[in-house]
Structure 1
């Protein structure tokens, strides 16, 4: 009976762990800033080429595409329809005909318009919504900054919530540093999407390629130098080759002959900065490329011998662990031949993405258990965009899986003065993956002398935590929130927010600020500026668990974004134990110290009163004697 139950659990885990990389139908809505400044930010119109890249990559009849412009007013550039040859031709004409020139940047109006625009194209039920917004400016609808701020507030609150409720992934792309980064990032985080800042227009193509990979993940074969290997199991290969303007890349078959883009089994799109070539039944062997930007290019494949991995949620929280499992499948059946799997090497790499470049933070081999290759990344400490790469080397075949995701703070922490001495603290979740009912948030107050006070933050309804705190006279206090978070799939993590600083001189009004700068610190900062020092860049920390810890990983663990995902959640901790763990209690030493201090105070009070009575009695005696 025990063996049968274990077998059932194992078989079930196979279905829970892995899902095919075939995707649901997808709705792509592309939203482009039409303000006049875009002529300066994107003089070569790479935004237009990036829009065409999405239409070229998306499978025909399985995705819809529409393009909208916004600035002084919102309008349609390309009406939404299913992607086919006609749609691509109309898109090419549309993007070459418009010229940015608007004087305002009304982001609110375009989001409202798209939320009111009905779906078209007859996509299959359950289709994904991926919207991409490109802008180079701030919300600018009035000369009155209060009006602009009110528009920002409506976007981050009402409209962002409506987007999340409809299942829209709103990917945002900033063309310059002069954008509403905090607004764009918060909307993307709430909607399980990415926010990307591009330093140059050239990075737009890479950004759109990554967004498409999130919307429609696929297997790849890696480049080995300027070559790549095609095995017998591959039915189709799609090469996306980036290159410089005016350069014609070359592709050579295993027999050394150049690939002719007009061959019967080849479908190709040759753009100014990329070549997209799809080859049906490609020849087996080692292929070669020339005049190609290898770091940016990739080769997507459709194959009967596939590598599949557990999904990673599009948005993870700081310090949230990642459980990853890779399996090999033959015709969608998990390979359980132990001798064959012993010949397979699987490695994973974690990269921090920044524009066209990336920085490798981790690389390690994966250990095999139950015919699967497992890894756990304990935590990532910094926000940003990341890529988790799984590479499979089976000696006679190679596969590569790229998973793109963002790491974000799980909550925002705000402090606002309510009256002369009252400050309102609030902590709000940045993404609906945080289970606020099971998570615990405590307000940590640290005084100038180092004393620490921990207060429970009450949960307001099911939305956020809030507390009103009275600031005593003559006090300086720093405040932050310590969160013990639980995701919707039961994954536990801990997080501490940046601090707010409260100062109240005498019985005056309390001041609230993000930073506290001492005079010495200010002088040191000024000296550093005078010496033209470059700030230190700190690499995000990544913690990797040991093999023994990995063996104890709960079955079915995944970082999928919702509780209804195909991955089995971590066994849930009870609410009582969570609260007990979050509570701060006094140790025996603390009680003894407080008791001693109270006793000393009481003795001083009694001694003072006794001394006062004695002095008064002597004065009375002197008066009587006189």
Structure 2
């Protein structure tokens, strides 16, 4: 073939002739290795080995299978506010707030952000807000011993304002924000009842809208029946948090644990018969064991038979022992079955740090009557949904929903067209009451568990939103319809406000029409966010007074559509130069080279894709391969 034709062929194929010869020389032994591999037993490489391999020797996985990487810090920020008023001498005589706080701060995941405040007449910073790490946890654990019961008043408004000060608008957006409040009393800022009432009203009508606009969720523990439970419930309902009532200080530790599970979602593995199974993808686990008085020392037995106690000196082990709990953290744990020697307790749990996660579909803490939550999970690898049927087909996903009608077993199936998602079929609307949801996934050695609580509120008042586009009113109408079997229509009293993103609040007038009430609002401006808070009260048909809990309603203005861009005029095509006389020998050589190049390229691409696909499947499934027996 003429030299000119060879050069043209090389240019068309995008190759240098010398490089092409070298590529062919290297490809031949690679093909021989591929044939040998086809006849040899398949082996699975551990994900860590793939991470440590030099990039030149790595095989890229398809986009649907994310590459393993280091665990990312969770995006949560937590502020903890503890009541130290004098009444705590009666409600918490043993000062059990100390071990309860020690448990909570040590459960917080590394990489999150947290701070602790005490309050009575005024707030006091106990642990400065900062990144959660071993040093911060050590500081917070020591500082917990300073909790006391010497304060004169209970200034909840000042305490929440101080703890949330760095978050309130116009603060920059940040991680998901949580406020956890423990108190045993009412708003008590003065001996003057009028000042107490004014502080309570400011808490609900001034501070709460600011917390809402900042996206701050409030979680509360009401210690004793003396606490203003109506206020605490209103705070949690308005912000999307959760409220727990602890009738005595002995329940404090479990109450803090419940709020932790509710406010800081985390990956867990289930405990069965005091044993739990870890897969090879787990980088770290934390075991919580609640202890009874006089309990024998906890022992933990690894898959290889190694026995660990609080006296063990393993460098990968951190063991925090308090009189009421053991908190054990182990990095780079061995995969397989771990056995626990301690009294079984349903509150014991194992939290794991892993690239492979089971993320529950979000269910709001409070649901209106008639709402149907979607119960489901999404399996992810490094925050990306997993789409490999080779892995998803191994999973059995079930749920137990405990509610007013007793436990209900649910089976979760794969959701079509939603990678990695499993969901339960939608049932009839749930009855009003409190629900506890536990979802468990079993994929042989891969196991995960998630828990969540939510409440379906009573059907005293039906709330509906309607978009109005008529000439008389363009905006939104909120329709409030009492349930005549539960609420006397003529007794209903409604107080509603709307707060915009600039913290400007104005009252709304409820119009009574027939058997319903209407709130009419204009359309928010582009990018604006309005929050409507409604307080309603009335009487039952028998005449008993009742307060109607209602969720806030958020109205968001639509962004204007960008103006359509006029198409650019198409320039006239350039005049083609006169064609030279054809060189038939060159043309024939080009045709042969192009066809040969396409055949070789197609073969090479097919081989490369197959190798990448096989490597991706092996990499993912290896995380769930059976662990070696101990």
TM band (smaller chain): 0.5 to 0.7
Match of residue 98 from structure 2: 48
Q: Residues 215-614 of structure 1: matches in 2 within 5 Å? A: 215-247=263-295, 248-260=297-309, 261-330=312-381, 334-338=385-389, 341-352=392-403, 361-370=407-416, 372-375=421-424, 376=426, 378-384=428-434, 386-408=435-457, 440-443=478-481, 466-467=509-510, 500=539, 514=545
Structure 2: gaps spanning 5 or more residues: 1-63, 466-473, 500-505, 520-535, 547-552, 557-630
Q: What is the rounded CA distance, in whole Å, between the counterparts of 2:383 and 2:128 in structure 1?
A: 38
Q: Deviations over 1:488-525 (max 9, x none)?
A: xxxxxxxxx8853699xxxxxxxx9627xxxxxxxxxx
Provide the secondary structure at the position in 2 that maps to 1:380: coil
Structure with the greater relative contact order (CA < 8 A, sep ≥ 6): 1 or 2? 2
Q: Which residue of 2 aligns with 1:39?
A: 89
Of 216, 223, 235, 1:168 maps to: 216
Change (3 A) 1:173 1:332: closer
Deviation of 1:174 after TM superposition, in Å, equals 0.5
Distance 1:33 1:246 in 2: 29
**C-alpha contact (below 8 Å) 2:242/2:262 kept by paired residues:** no
Contact 1:25–1:124 under 8 Å retained in 2: no
* Deviations 1:22-55, CA, capped at 9 Å, x for gaps: 6643332221111122122223322122222232
Secondary structure at the counterpart of residue 146 of structure 2: coil
Retained in 1: the 8 A contact 2:398–2:439?
Answer: yes
Q: What are the Cα deviations for residues 560-611 of structure 1, in whole angstroms up to 9, with x where unaligned?
A: x9899xxxxxxxxxxxxxxxxxxxxxxxxxxxxxxxxxxxxxxxxxxxxxxx
Give the CA deviation at 1:65.
Answer: 3.0
What residue ranges of structure 1 are gaps of 5+ in the alignment? 1-13, 354-358, 414-426, 430-435, 471-476, 484-496, 504-511, 516-560, 565-626
Of residues 190, 201, 225, the one that matches 1:177 is 225
Contact 2:262-2:452 at 8 Å conserved across structures: yes
Partner Cα distance (1:99, 1:124) in 2? 34
1:141 and 2:192 are equivalent in the alignment = no
**Cα distance, 1:139–1:412 mapped onto 2, change above 3 Å:** farther
Q: Secondary structure at the match of 1:72?
A: coil
Q: Structure 1's 437 and 313: CA in aligned 2 closer, same or farther, altered over 3 A? A: farther
- The answer to whether the 8 A contact 1:307-1:399 is kept is yes
Alpha carbons 2:88, 2:184 under 8 Å: kept: yes
- 1:404-453 alpha-carbon deviations (Å, 9 max, x no partner): 4444469989xxxxxxxxxxxxx999xxxxxx965642445969xx9999
| TM-score (norm: length of structure 2) | 0.61
Q: CA deviation at 1:150?
A: 2.4
| TM-score, length of structure 1 as denominator length | 0.61
1:128 aligns with 2:179: no
Cα deviation, 1:309-352, whole Å, max 9, x if unaligned, reads 32223443333111133344456554445465444321112235
Whole-angstrom distance in 2 between the partners of 1:173 and 1:399: 28
Aligned partner of residue 312 in structure 1, secondary structure: coil
CA contact (8 A) 2:115 2:129 kept: yes
What SS is found at the alignment partner of 2:444? coil
Change (3 A) 1:380 1:258: same
Q: Distance in 2 between matches of 1:124 and 1:467?
A: 35
Distance 1:264 1:401 in 2: 29
* The 10-residue stretch of structure 1 (219-228 or 22-31) with the greater mean CA deviation from structure 2: 22-31
Distance 1:380 1:200, change over 3 A: farther
Counterpart position of 1:90: 139
Please give the secondary structure, in 1, of the residue aligned with 2:307: coil
Task: Please list the CA deviations of residues 225-279 of structure 1 after superposition, one character each: whole Å capped at 9, or x if unmatched.
Answer: 1111122232322111111244222211223331244212212222221211122
1:113-166: CA deviation from partner (whole Å, max 9, x where unpaired): 3344579xxx99622221111111112234443432222111111111111122
- Tell me how far 1:198 sits from its aligned partner: 1.1
Does the 8 Å contact 2:277/2:338 carry over to 1? yes
For 2:265 and 2:184, locate their aligned partners in 1 and report how far apart those are by CA, in whole Å. 28
Residue equivalent to 2:205: 157
SS at match of 2:227: coil
> What does residue 235 of structure 2 align with?
187
Bigger-Rg structure (1/2) = 2
Q: Aligned pair in 2 of structure 1 residues 206, 394: CA closer, same or farther (>3 Å)?
A: same
CA distance in structure 2 between the partners assigned to 1:213 and 1:146 by the alignment: 38
Name the SS for the 2:210 alignment partner: helix
